[in-house]
Structure 1
């Protein structure tokens, strides 16, 4: 949901523990066990999403700020 990595070693009640999320909520017509309707999510992200529907289309951010900088770049190769 948030796009950040999920550590499968974390256990409840850790807020970042992994849970299975229904992409399309069951009460909005999503299939409860269809694999294409399931995704791994953080517990807190899943709670915040609740039964909302999200557009899964990945768009490039219009304004580049601290919150949408790439997290996977190895910055150690850059020198000042």
Structure 2
């Protein structure tokens, strides 16, 4: 699967089991919905919270190739870490 290879190239440890889980999830969803595809992949292909930013970059580059140059360096959806007082 090309998208899995792109994620591996981005530094994610995407295993065959994770790819299989992603494909099973896609079979249950509306694959024409970019949001559903995004979340299916994020939930099945990311093994660690640190993977999310790289996943976002690879997802946009794969599914929105024209926007790849406009992608911010860090994931804008992740809230800043909490600070204890």
The interval holding the TM-score normalised by the smaller chain is: under 0.3
- What TM-score does the superposition give when structure 2 sets the normalisation length? 0.24
| Greater gyration radius | 1
Q: Hey, which of these two has a bigger chunk of helix by percent?
A: 2
Flag the structure with more relative contact order, 1 or 2, with Cα contacts below 8 A and sequence separation at least 6: 2
- What TM-score does the superposition give when structure 1 sets the normalisation length? 0.24
Q: Hey, which of these two has a bigger chunk of strand by percent?
A: 1
